Amino acid sequence: MSQDLFPDTLALPGLTYLPGFALGDEADLVRAVLDVAQGAAFRRMKTPGGREMSAAMTNCGAAGWVSDAKGYRYARLDPLSGAPWPEMPAIFRALAERAAAAGGFAGFTPDMALINRYEPGAGMSLHQDIDEQDFSAPIVSVSLGLPAVFLWGGLSRAEKPARLPLNSGDVLVWGGVARKFFHGIAPVKAGAHSLTGTARLNLTFRRAL
Ligand SMILES: O=C(O)CCC(=O)C(=O)O
Ligand SMILES: [Mn+2]
């Protein structure tokens, strides 16, 4: 069932919250993440300013999101191995397409997924997803493992973000006028989850190329 976050206002259209949408696929999704990580290890990238990000990342699909001294970008090859990123698991693509359709973006097919791994204390500061070629495509974001608080701002960094608690199996879809809204993840609290242990995993599906 889809649920509009702020049904009484037009202030934040474009974000669809699908609580528990991926619950039936949780175990298979986590297994697929481990498969991807066999081919392209999780690593903590550096911002262009030289700061190590707190979330560890890897990618699958036609390109991977990377960050280093040269900036943020999509790369067809994994800079760690020099090889293409692992293929996107079929279960990833199927879930992303179903969720996008449920969020009003029927026909969306991701060409990559960025996978974030948050250990306790790790988070993601407010940012926009703006390195992709095609902003008509939405972002589909899947949460697995430890809970987190999603921060949902606006078009300007100054806007105070709303706080949306996310649990394992929850999916968010945002696009259209909200495609470039600032968002982030508050530092993840320590805990244990039967499938992911001490971590939260996030799959972010995009049309990057
Ligand atoms: O972990 C999340 O839920 C959000 C991740 C995110 O915004 C990103 O990878 O760009
Ligand atoms: Mn993002």
What CATH class has 3-206? mainly beta
Q: What is the pLDDT of residues 171-180, one digit of tens each?
A: 999 999 999 9
Place of tokens 């599906």: 205
Asked whether 58 lines ligand 1 (CB < 6 A), one says no
Q: What is the pLDDT of residue 175?
A: 97
Separation between Cα atoms, residue 111 and residue 171, nearest integer Å: 18
Taking CA atoms only, the protein residue closest to ligand 1 atom 3 is 202
Report helix, strand and coil shares of the chain as percent, to nearest 5.
15, 35, 50
Segment 6-53, tens digit of pLDDT: 443 334 578 999 999 999 999 999 999 999 999 999 999 999 999 999
Q: Please report the pLDDT score of residue 13 as a whole number.
A: 73
Taking the centre of ligand 2 as the mean of its atom positions, its distance from the CA of residue 90, in whole angstroms, is 23
For residue 96, pLDDT beyond 90: yes
From the CA of 200, give the closest atom in ligand 1.
1
Pocket lining: 183 vs ligand 1, CB cutoff 6 Å: yes
- Ligand number, closest to the Cα atom of 170: 1
Give ion ligand 2 contacts, CB < 5 A.
129
Q: Report yes or no on whether pTM surpasses 0.85.
A: yes
